[in-house]
Amino acid sequence: MLELKHNPKTGGSFVINVLGMLLRKGRVNTIPEFTPSSGIADMPQTSAFKIGMIREPCAQYKSLWSYCVLGKRGHYGLGEPACAYAPRARIDDVGLFREFVKTLVSDDDKIGLVTCRTHYNYINRSMQDMTEIRGLNNACGGLDGVDQMKEAPGEAILESFARGNAMAAADCWLHTETLEQDLRKCLEMFERRTGQTANLDSFDRVVARAHEIHDNSVSEHLGHDGFEGESVQPCSFYFDKETSSFVEQHDHAVFEAFGYQGCCKPVAKDDEKDRASATSENTNGLGVQSAR
């Protein structure tokens, strides 16, 4: 069995399509986004091979913005609670984007939405903390996630983040920046750990097919009527020094935990190798997380 935790705006729709075509029904358990108490770390440990998903925070906010503003003007529904804070705007309106990002922080000004959601999805919380700290367990989960994030105990979440081990929450990680490469590597690891086939001889064909069908990308949505003259812009287009510093400050826990070098920057190569090794050491031969 393979378990995938769908982390919002990290490429999950594409990965779900690929896994659905590669693996037989019943061999993949997708833990949906915005599902209360759905974090891998909160679930009873099983023998399933666990895959987590992560994205550099600035790029994640850019993806969220694109989905929200295109959704408000387009022909598809919005299942993303953060879109309530997005204006009706062009995708390339940098000024409104920067205002949008600065609304997605806790009321105590300690954490951003990406940190809150990453904590919800992947950081183990003790029963004592969940009992004593109001909102610690469900902050940023559920369809009321943004309101919960606003009221979230930011300081407590940062302390919980520091005590936890985000990398150890999954046997293998998909970085959106290298999504297809990481997915192949994770499936190769899945085969080695479980002795089951992931049908990797069909991987390239299935990936191409998944892109053709529906990958929920900005490019795909820009193909709809009404978006003429708008195009996909790089992450750096949206972030000036002030906004970059704002995200790096409020989401520093994610930057540090996953080795991202800074806003719109990738994981440091040496750091990525060290973290991959650490993740491997935290699992046993069955792909089950060792006790921590």
**pLDDT tens, residue by residue, 63-103:** 999 888 887 776 555 667 888 888 888 889 999 999 999 99
CATH label of the domain that carries residue 6: 3.40.50
pLDDT in tens, 235-267: 999 999 999 999 999 999 999 999 999 999 988
For the chain, how many structural domains are there in total? 1
Tell me the mean pLDDT in the region 140-153: 68
Residue 176's identity, in one-letter code, is T
End-to-end Cα separation, the chain, in angstroms: 23
Over pLDDT 70: what percentage of the chain? 71
Q: What values do phi and psi take at 180, rounded to 5?
A: -65, -40
User: Is 291 within the bounds of a domain?
Assistant: no
In this predicted structure, the answer to whether residue 36 has a pLDDT above a threshold of 60 is no
**Distance separating alpha carbons of residues 3 and 233, to the nearest angstrom:** 33
Neighbours of 92 (CB within 10 A): 16
Structural domain contains residue 187: yes
Tell me the pLDDT band of 38, cut-offs 50, 70 and 90.
Answer: very low
| 290: in domain | no
Assigned domain for 286 exists: no
Residue 205 belongs to some domain of the structure: yes
Residue 119 domain flag: yes
Q: Is residue 287 part of a domain?
A: no
Residue 288 in any domain: the answer is no
Give me the domain span that covers residue 233: 2-281
Q: Hunting for tokens 């795909």 — which residue is that?
A: 220
Distance CA 173, CA 40 (A): 13
pLDDT tier, 279 (very low <50, low <70, confident <90, very high otherwise): very low
